[in-house]
Structure 1
Amino acid sequence: MTAQSPEPSPRPAPPGALRASHDDREAVVERLRDAAAEGRIDFEELDARLEQALKARTHAELTPLTADLPEVPGPGSRPPLLLKGGLYGTSRGPGRWDVPGHVIAHGGVGGVRLDFTRAECRLEEILVEAHGETAGVTVVIPDGWTADTSGMDPGFGGLTDKTTPDRLPGTPLIRLTGSGGMAGVVIRHPNRRERRKLQANPAQG
């Protein structure tokens, strides 16, 4: 009886031939929109590339659409921003500032205020590690940004989350972790006074 030779195992598909997911296409769409907003491509070209991105079936079809655009820095490419409230407190914002992917805030005795309302941010997600300690930490995010507070330990001071779940396309998710400590942690959108100030000074640096 003649032994049958084993059938050859199927070869893995080349990386570019892999099927693209909905998330893969959406990531390219967001990157193209950002590039248009930055003036890197005009709106006519944006429309053409968006159409190709939405019809793309493989990574090989998606890759050329962003090949001439600069890489978007990932959350791990920059060191964390460390803020310590100390005795007198500290803050970052509401003026324009460049947001890293990881922010660590220790309320200390003076407290920390972290205001993203005028921040420059192209990240999809920002990790904010907040420790309320004695004076607490307040985080203010623009309308359209959302927060995930499921990883937060409320501690004695508690967690106050006044954000809405309505996330606008292209905006980051704030992933809040840490502990409320004695004074607690608050995350919210701008209040009435802050909104009036933002409207009165729309181009404030």
Structure 2
Amino acid sequence: MTAQPAPRDDDRGGLRASHDDREAVVEQLRDAAAEGRIDLDELDERLERALTAKTYAELDALTADLPRPPSPADLPPLELSGGYYGASRGPGPWDVPGRVIARGGLAGVKLDFSRARCRFPEVTVEAYGESAGVVIVIPDGWVADTTAVKSGLGGLKDTTTPDRLPGTPLIRVVGSGGMAGVVVRHPNRWERRKLGNDPARA
């Protein structure tokens, strides 16, 4: 049996759209309304059509007159290295690229997505525990896929829940636990209290 070639982007119109495809368009439409590109009545109309769309062609028609959202290739990867002093990103607001590389080094890395702004349906995090480890914190409702992480001597600890809220990104973690390990979790009690009491981070 001869294998069929994969469809090109310009041939995909008749293909069936997934829930994630519809949610991505919904998010783009909401952003467009927040930027003043479409009014609220038009937003409601387009959202209804997006949620009932069955094909890529139907979804593409709803965003054809809007600027395209950035793709992971548009932003350089974020690289964090623990080195001798440690490194962190978050929990304050920051823009998430499509790829993050975290190397624990001798002092460790903490990557906190609690207040991060993410426009991508999926983000790849390369985590290498090395000597001090990497800690990745994701908000409730976000989901992590850690199946591709090699445990190494330090191992992998993933305590996140599998319940993904619509419109949230998938954090796909790859790499190795190294000597000190990789931890993926939701905010702990102290972190939740600190975020809740800090208006600048709300």
- TM-score, structure 1 normalization: 0.84
**Shift in alpha-carbon separation, 1:18–1:101, aligned structure 2, 3 A:** same
The alpha carbon displacement at 1:32 in A equals 2.0
The CA distance in 2 between the partners of 1:113 and 1:17, in whole Å, is 41
Check if 1:86 corresponds to 2:83: yes
Check if 1:160 corresponds to 2:157: yes
1:133-155 CA deviation, whole Å, 9 max, x = no partner?
10000001111111000110011
The CA distance in 2 between the partners of 1:156 and 1:57, in whole Å, is 47
Partner of 1:8: none
1:166-181 equivalences in 2 (<5 Å): 166-181=163-178
State the structure with more CA Rg: 1
Q: Secondary structure at the match of 1:139?
A: strand
Partner of 2:17: 21
Identity of aligned residues (%): 67
Q: Is the 8 A contact 1:15 1:59 kept in 2?
A: no
**Shift in alpha-carbon separation, 1:131–1:64, aligned structure 2, 3 A:** same
Calculate the aligned-residue CA RMSD, in Å: 2.2
Q: Would you say how many aligned residue pairs link Structure 1 and Structure 2?
A: 192
1:22-101 equivalences in 2 (<5 Å): 22-23=18-19, 24-56=21-53, 58-101=55-98
Q: Secondary structure at the match of 1:138?
A: strand
1:102-152 CA deviation, whole Å, 9 max, x = no partner?
010110101001111111111111100000010000001111111000110
1:147-192 CA deviation, whole Å, 9 max, x = no partner?
0001100111010101111111111110000000010000101000
For structure 1, the residue ranges without an aligned partner over 5 or more in a row are: 1-13
- TM-score, structure 2 normalization: 0.85
Check if 1:128 corresponds to 2:125: yes
Partner of 1:194: 191
The alpha carbon displacement at 1:50 in A equals 2.1
1:26-54 CA deviation, whole Å, 9 max, x = no partner?
44334223434555433322221122334
The CA distance in 1 between the partners of 2:95 and 2:190, in whole Å, is 24
